[in-house]
C-alpha cells in the first residue's frame, strides 16, 4: 500500500562536500546514520536540498550507493532520477532501481515549456519502464513546469505512480492533489516544511522536509504526534521550525540548510559553486536561531 509505505518525514539528505567540492562520502554516511537514529521515515539523496541539480551522473550513482549501504533497509531510500528527457529519465530510473532504491522521485522536466499532455506522457512512459513506485515532484519555481491537479489525478490512475511531492508552496494546489486522489491508494507529500501539519490534517501522508537535516527529531515528531492524536504537541513542533524557515530569505534553501548543519559542527562543507553564497547577515541570523533552539533543547 503506497499510503502505508510513502509516509512520514523523508529527509532530502544534504550532500557533504570537501573544499575541492568532491563528495565527502564518510560524512555522508554519518548524515544517514544521524537521520536514521533520529527516527525519520525515509532518506532521499540528491534531491534539491542534496544538490542533485549540480551532481554528475557518476556522482549520483556513488551517493545513492553510499546511502543504500548505510540505510541497510531500515528506512526506504528515495532516488531523484528526473532528467529533462524521457529517455534519460528512464535510463537513470532503471539504474537506481537496479542499485536497490525503494522509490523514485521524479521531478518535472525543466527549461523547455511542457504542456500538461506532454507531462502526462512523460510520466506514463517512465512508469511503464520502472518496477518500483514513483513519486511525482512538482516544484514549478525551479523547473518552470507545474503539474496541474487534473494531471496528477490522471497520473494517479496509472500503475506505479504512487504519490506526489508538492513544493509549489501553494496550499490550495496541494489540497487539490489530496482531494482528487482521496479515493485511491496515492500519497501526497508536502515539499514545503511550513505546511507539514496542514498536509496531514487535510489527508496527506507526510513530507519531504529539508529542515530535517538540521532538526530531524523535531520534524519526526510533527508526524509522530499527529498520528498519536496529540495535535497541540504536533503544532508546537511545526511552529518550532518557523525561525529557521525565516532564514531562507538570505539565500537558496539548500544553502541555508547546509550552512546550518555546518554551524552545528558537522563537517558537511559548502554548497557547490556558484550556489554557495550567504551574506554575513544571513550567517549571523542562522547562528542566532541555532543558539536559541539549542537552549530550547531542539534536535
Residues designated catalytic? 137, 165
d(CA 201, CA 224): 13
Nearest to 171 by CA among 194, 205, 155: 194
d(CA 260, CA 200): 27
Cell of 226: 499527529
Amino acid at each position: 500500500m503506497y499510503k502505508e509505505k510513502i509516509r512520514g518525514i523523508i529527509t532530502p539528505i544534504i550532500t557533504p562536500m570537501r573544499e575541492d567540492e568532491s563528495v565527502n562520502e564518510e560524512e555522508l554516511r554519518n548524515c544517514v546514520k544521524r537521520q536514521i537514529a533520529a527516527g525519520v521515515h525515509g532518506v532521499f539523496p540528491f534531491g534539491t536540498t542534496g544538490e542533485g541539480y549540480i551532481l554528475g551522473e557518476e556522482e549520483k550513482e556513488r551517493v545513492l550507493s553510499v546511502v543504500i549501504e548505510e540505510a541497510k533497509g531500515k528506512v526506504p531510500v528515495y532516488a531523484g532520477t528526473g532528467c529533462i528527457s524521457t529517455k534519460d529519465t528512464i535510463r537513470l530510473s532503471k539504474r537506481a532501481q537496479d542499485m536497490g532504491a525503494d522509490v523514485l522521485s521524479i521531478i518535472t522536466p525543466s527549461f523547455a515549456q511542457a504542456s500538461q499532455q506532454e507531462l502526462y506522457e512523460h510520466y506514463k512512459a517512465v512508469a511503464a519502464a520502472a518496477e518500483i513506485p514513483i513519486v511525482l515532484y512538482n516544484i514549478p519555481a525551479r523547473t518552470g513546469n507545474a503539474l496541474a491537479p487534473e494531471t496528477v489525478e490522471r497520473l494517479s490512475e496509472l500503475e506505479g505512480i504512487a504519490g506526489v511531492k508538492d513544493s509549489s508552496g501553494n496550499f490550495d494546489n496541494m489540497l487539490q492533489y489530496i482531494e482528487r486522489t482521496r479515493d485511491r491508494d496515492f500519497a501526497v507529500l508536502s515539499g514545503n516544511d511550513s505546511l507539514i501539519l496542514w498536509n496531514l490534517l487535510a489527508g496527506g501522508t507526510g513530507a519531504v522536509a529539508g529542515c530535517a537535516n538540521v532538526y530531524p527529531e523535531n520534524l519526526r515528531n510533527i508526524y509522530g504526534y499527529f498520528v498519536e492524536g496529540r495535535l497541540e504537541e504536533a503544532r508546537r513542533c511545526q511552529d518550532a521550525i518557523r525561525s529557521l524557515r525565516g532564514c531562507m530569505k538570505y539565500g537558496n534553501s539548500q544553502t541555508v540548510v547546509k550552512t546550518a548543519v555546518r554551524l552545528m559542527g558537522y563537517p558537511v562543507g559548502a554548497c557547490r559553486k556558484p550556489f554557495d553564497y550567504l551574506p554575513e547577515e544571513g550567517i549571523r541570523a542562522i547562528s542566532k536561531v541555532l543558539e536559541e533552539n539549542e537552549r530550547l533543547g531542539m534536535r
